[in-house]
A and B are shown apart, each in its own frame.
Chain A
Amino acid sequence: MSTLTDSRKRELRRELESIVGPGAVLSDPDELMVYESDGLTLFRALADFVVFPTSAQHVSAVVKLANRENLPFVARGAGTGLSGGCLPTEGGIVVSMMRMNRVLEVDYDNQIAVVEPGLVNLHLSWKVGPRGYYYAPDPSSQQACTIGGNIANNSGGPHTLKYGVTTNHVLGLEVVMPDGEIVWLGGKTREACGYDLAGVFVGSEGTFGIATRIVVRILRKPQAVKTVLAVFDAIDQASAAVSAIIARGLVPAAMEMIDQLTIQAVEDAFSCGYPRDADAALLIELDGLAVGMDVQAERIVEACRESGAREVRTARSEAERQLLWKGRKSAFGAYGRVSPAYMVMDGVIPRTKLPYVLRRVNEIVAASGLRVGNVFHAGDGNLHPNILYDPRKPGEEARVVAAGAEIMKVCADVGGSISGEHGIGLEKADFMPLIFSVADLALMQRLKSAFNPRGLCNPGKVFPTKKSCVEVGPVAYRPHAIEEKGLAQRF
């Protein structure tokens, strides 16, 4: 929290209320606590105010006030982020986008929708589903996370293997710039006019401004879907199968790996039909035209068998398919049955390095005296090791953090990245030098200066810094409020 005096705070609260309305400002510390964390509860920071605008004009006025007062501000969606990216590390104003949650326009002819940033990801697919369309980016938190938050982190999901991540589906955005000006970046057409500022904005983790309207592509639902489960006695075989499928010229819609620890947790919790004694399973989905689907599925089956799969089966009904996906999507919830807490990592490696890196991950975690479950997007090499631990045991959390750092280093060393979809935020800011040089970071800083010259818009994120007054472990793990309500899981 910043150093505003109580009386100044009361004045500012009144002024904020005059902008967004009396029911749309929080400043009581008890209320602010709900907004002190995102999905990564390791980090906490308290804002001075949380405001709930309902228009771009509101956002603009709030941002202008923040500029006048030299107060930092940060936009926040559902708070499902996993890198501390929306925390008010230096106090100031949290701009909650949750009341800007409308679908403003759907143009089926042109397959685009205009939405507000607080719209929950899945709600867009619900809206356009009856007409045979959907919104492709499907982060596993899509029941709760917002499209604005997806923009900030350039979120992915299981089906991004074939369909790409958020940036591939965003055509334009109306943005309140860090100085309060309202500007359109991109638009409804497929070509940028000048530099691709919409492309630059997506994934900028809330440091370039606050999106208030978003033009996204919606896609026709595929004519047919086929889901295959391949079961392996050795995780290396499952990794080899991923490469074998790619080598056969196949691009599945999704290719997810689930390891033994995770399978057992899932089966204990939900009985989804994964064999408990398997070392690993691959969940592979094909979609597209009905014709030719069987030919391609046959090739997938063949590639898996040749890689040593002991069992390969195709979901025979939509119910069976849903059950298999339930196993994948509820994996994180299932960890709760086998461990009091876990921390999810997010790293990316070249697909061909999977066997080596998975071995290293297991070694690193074992050497820390901890257990790890792996459930991840194998098709695009996006790892999610989940380190299980008990926060009540002194020192365990610190060991988790240390193991996580080592895993990031392994990802970097094999030519990978330190984040595939969770973002850098606070969590990984100090890991950036693992993959970027001083010159790389300097150029990014210059780009940031072009958008956010005063640095008031979401300070303390993305770049290595020692200067934040955020509370960082060792603090006890606790579920986020939205997790307790069952609205979100960690991925």
Chain B
Amino acid sequence: MPDALLQKLRTTVGAANVLTGVELSPYVVEGRTPEAAVFPGSIEEVAAVMVLASEVGSPVAPWGGGTAASVGMPAGRAGLVVVLSRLGRLLDHEPGDLTATVEAGMTVEAFQAALGRRGQWLSLDPPDADRATVGGVLATNACGPRRHLYGTARDLLIGVTVVTADGSVVKGGGKVVKNVAGYDLPKLFIGSYGTLGVIVEATVKLRPLPEQEELVRVRFDRLKDAGAAVRAVAASDLIPNAVELLDGAAAVGAGLAAGSPPGGVLVVGFDGVREQVDWQRAELARLTGPLGGRDVRPLEAAAWSRLTPAARTAFPTPAATMALAVLPSQVAETMEQGAGIARGRGLSSAWAAHAGVGVVRGALASDPAPKDPAALAAVLAEWRELARAGGGHANLEWAPLAVKSQIAVWDDPGAAGRIMERIKAQLDPRNILNPGRFVAGI
């Protein structure tokens, strides 16, 4: 990096807020070290940094908690990491409006704690909430089991402030829960992996904290039967806030089943007033019993956060994990077939799904011996085909670079990819925001 640029960055955000050299180790991704990490202290400073980066065409990687930093392809050339941690305040919370405005660098956990003190919450439960930031969660569209009832960021984000590649500060949406004025920019930035702008502020819809909440586990001898139970729950009067399906390996790994691994475990969440939770637990037992469900019991609250990463945590160090989007009715079959594909190549796998919404995660074991990247990529390619055969798609959530160089991280968006490229070209014509990280080479 030219010294002149470094000097300008130090002048802009203060010398203490620019890291270089060995201080950059937390920001190394896939063995690649950025040229500098910058910690702007205001939206204006983020904008000034973007102007500087834009002038010299330096790549910029927006950085929240770094929990998803290795998702996607690493930048082809080193550049700046723009860390949002100094933008970490709750700006506004009006309980009567059920809305809050928060700076992007606040962690989800800190945000929820502040909201919780006034009886409300953001109904989004991404993994790593202690480190993941609001901005990062939006940029990566992270979520958790409760998406079954409460949806994802796209259902909750009502306003967003973004600094674009040229340093413009741009707002989309607003602060009210219903709003059709202008294009829906919040949707554009959710899940865009920092390729279109740096999210600096968000306004979200909130919900009252439920009076009671309970996670209930049902064991099955066969995964297939657990899959049938998912369909039975969907067709019933139950209003669960989570419907999770795990195979034996994932269930044991997540501490949801002791002893010999069951064929499948169904985990269902309920919330509401006491009577509603009690009635639904009983109704769940009544529905699943005839399908082979047994051992219906509540889980401790700590189990919630172990559900989303359950496939990955089944192995000490997985060789790769993939997220498959399929129809809810295909979930159990996808898990069984995916495990079969891995077994056919001598590999173990573990599977867990937000079953009610058709989001399935498969993890490949690296044990017994590290496999060659081509073999891993071959399994992953077959998994992707499995998702595509049912009209879905699949993305690599985590894999070593050697594997990522053999199979595309992101599935092919088809003809829509060209529109995505045009959007990228319009918003970031110099291609400095996370270049090459995302879908279609964006």
Binding site for B on A (CB under 8 A): 107-111, 153-154, 156, 160, 164-165, 167-168, 177, 181-185, 187-197, 199-200, 202-204, 220, 223, 243, 246-251, 288-289, 291-292, 295-296, 348-352, 377, 380-382, 415-424, 428, 432, 435-437, 439-444, 446-451, 453, 462
**Which chain B residues border A380 with CB–CB below 8 Å?**
176-178
Told that A189-B326, A251-B207 touch, could you supply 13 new A-B pairs with CB distance under 8 A?
A: A109-B235, A156-B180, A164-B155, A185-B419, A188-B327, A196-B191, A200-B187, A202-B187, A348-B177, A436-B181, A444-B182, A444-B185, A447-B423
Interface check B273, CB cutoff 8 A: yes
| A421 to B412 CA separation, bound complex (whole angstroms) | 34
A-B contact pairs, 26 of them (CB 8 A): A107-B327, A177-B419, A182-B415, A188-B391, A188-B392, A189-B325, A189-B327, A189-B391, A190-B325, A194-B410, A194-B420, A195-B196, A195-B439, A196-B154, A196-B188, A289-B279, A289-B280, A348-B174, A415-B176, A416-B174, A419-B180, A424-B181, A436-B181, A437-B171, A443-B164, A443-B170
Chain A: minimal CB distance from B171 (Å): 5
Tally of contact residues, B, Cβ under 8 A: 83
| A106 to B327 CA separation, bound complex (whole angstroms) | 13
Instruction: Flag if A199 contacts B273 (CB, 8 Å).
Output: no
Instruction: Flag if A199 contacts B208 (CB, 8 Å).
Output: no
**Which chain B residues border A351 with CB–CB below 8 Å?**
96-98
**Which chain A residues border B415 with CB–CB below 8 Å?**
181-184
Instruction: Flag if A415 contacts B175 (CB, 8 Å).
Output: yes
With A220-B237, A439-B168 as contacts: A168 and B155 at CB distance below 8 Å: yes
Those of B356-400 within 8 Å (CB) of chain A = 357-359, 391-393, 395
Interface check B414, CB cutoff 8 A: yes
Those of B236-295 within 8 Å (CB) of chain A = 237, 239, 272-273, 275-276, 279-280
| A107 to B164 CA separation, bound complex (whole angstroms) | 41
Nearest residue, chain A, Cβ from B161: A440
Instruction: Flag if B359 contacts A190 (CB, 8 Å).
Output: yes
| A153 to B178 CA separation, bound complex (whole angstroms) | 12
Q: Which of A194, A416, A436 contacts B171 (CB 8 A)?
A: A436
Tell me the interface secondary structure of chain A in the complex. Answer: loop
Instruction: Flag if A450 contacts B422 (CB, 8 Å).
Output: yes
Q: Which of A352, A382, A422 contacts B96 (CB 8 A)?
A: A352
Chain A: minimal CB distance from B291 (Å): 15
Number of A-B contacts (CB under 8 A): 262
Instruction: Flag if A423 contacts B180 (CB, 8 Å).
Output: yes
With A289-B280, A436-B171, A437-B171 as contacts: A193 and B413 at CB distance below 8 Å: yes
Interface check B328, CB cutoff 8 A: yes
With A109-B328, A204-B183 as contacts: A165 and B178 at CB distance below 8 Å: yes
| A87 to B419 CA separation, bound complex (whole angstroms) | 26
Chain A: minimal CB distance from B276 (Å): 4
| A223 to B279 CA separation, bound complex (whole angstroms) | 13
With A197-B420, A436-B182, A462-B182 as contacts: A288 and B359 at CB distance below 8 Å: no
Nearest residue, chain A, Cβ from B118: A247
Those of B135-149 within 8 Å (CB) of chain A = 141
Instruction: Flag if A247 contacts B423 (CB, 8 Å).
Output: no
Nearest residue, chain B, Cβ from A198: B187
Chain A: minimal CB distance from B429 (Å): 9
Chain A: minimal CB distance from B144 (Å): 14
Q: Which of A177, A195, A442 contacts B188 (CB 8 A)?
A: A195
**Which chain B residues border A248 with CB–CB below 8 Å?**
208
Chain B: minimal CB distance from A358 (Å): 15
| A283 to B393 CA separation, bound complex (whole angstroms) | 44
Instruction: Flag if A418 contacts B183 (CB, 8 Å).
Output: no
Instruction: Flag if B184 contacts A154 (CB, 8 Å).
Output: yes
* Cβ proximity bits B309-347 to A, threshold 8 Å, 1 near / 0 not: 000000000000001011111000000000000000000
Q: Which of A109, A167, A441 contacts B231 (CB 8 A)?
A: A109
| A85 to B396 CA separation, bound complex (whole angstroms) | 41
Instruction: Flag if B275 contacts A295 (CB, 8 Å).
Output: yes
**Which chain B residues border A183 with CB–CB below 8 Å?**
414-416, 419
Nearest residue, chain A, Cβ from B425: A450
